[in-house]
Amino acid sequence: MNFGIVVFPGTNCDRDCYYVIKDILNQPVKFIWHKENDLRGVDCVVLPGGFSYGDYLRSGAIARFSPIMTSVREFADKGGLVIGICNGFQILTEAGLLPGALGRNIGLRFICKYVNLIIERNDTPFTSEFKKGEIVRMPIAHNEGNYYIDDLSKIEKQIVLRYYGENPNGALDNIAGIVNERGNVFGLMPHPERCSEKILGSEDGLRIFKSIVRAL
């Protein structure tokens, strides 16, 4: 299982993801600079969190034109696994690889805290280590996590994670993470890489990476 972590200017969760994949899961992983376009040998692309291009214009709006994104699109079209975390999720929606958009948090504040999430689907390559309906804890850290789509009915079956209990950012239908129709592209606002070791308060995040390893 080879992971490729895409690094944009302003990405800042790339090393956390690298650490989890390499040091905790012992899987081969490399960084891929956004100007590259070669994804050969990669089984799963990670678009990590951060502030690509300073979040200028809209979060993810400019990163999606980086050369690597053309390759990521082709990779996803061929069925390759893509996970976008936080800013990575925003980039995937801007690129049209996932439906909808992420607007400003309803409270207008940057929110950094643990939230409860409910696993709505465990039949995806990203969530097979969970039980359906299970409540898990992961941290969020974002200013634009307010998920929006015109017609919710179009994506109802694609919802993988929902905020449980409290909705921190105003996201429509409590949506915290979705997959594409085919199920091989996953975007989520919570940061699984920040809760992959007991010492950090939760290991729920690790199960997402474990699911991916298991899928391949």
Partner 1 sequence: MMEKVKLIYEGKAKRVYSTTEEDKFIIEFKDTATAFDGLKKAEITGKGEANCFISSKIFELLTIKGVKNHYIKRLSERDMLVRSVKIFPIEVIIRNRVAGSMAKRLGLEEGKVLEKPVLEFCYKSDELHDPMINEDHILALGLAKEEELSTIKEMSLETNRILIEFFKKCNLDLVDMKFEFGKDSEGDIYLADEISPDTCRLWELGTTMSWDKDRFRRDLGDVEEAYREVKERVMNTPIESNARILIRLKPSILDAQGSVILNALKSLGYSEVLEVRVGKLLELKLDRKIDEPERIEKMCKELLANPVMENYEWEWVE
CB of 166 to partner 1, least distance (A): 17
* Distance separating the N- and C-terminal Cα atoms of the chain: 6
What SS3 state is found at 174? helix
CB of 173 to partner 1, least distance (A): 14
For partner 1, the closer CB: 61 or 213 = 61
Chain contacts with partner 1 (rule: CB under 8 A):
57-58, 61-62, 65, 93-94, 100-101, 103-108, 148-150, 170
Q: Burial letters for 187-211: b for 16+ Cβ neighbours within 10 Å, e otherwise?
A: bbbbbbbbbbeeeeebbbbbbbbbb
For partner 1, the closer CB: 90 or 127 = 90
What is the 3-state composition of the chain as percent helix, strand, coil, each rounded to the nearest 5? 30, 30, 45
For partner 1, the closer CB: 104 or 137 = 104
Catalytic residues: 86, 191, 193
Among 145, 131, 138, smallest CA distance to 101 is for 145
Asked if residues 188 and 160 have their Cβ atoms less than 8 Å apart, the reply is yes
CB of 143 to partner 1, least distance (A): 12
For partner 1, the closer CB: 102 or 212 = 102
CB of 160 to partner 1, least distance (A): 19
CA distance 137 to 185: 22
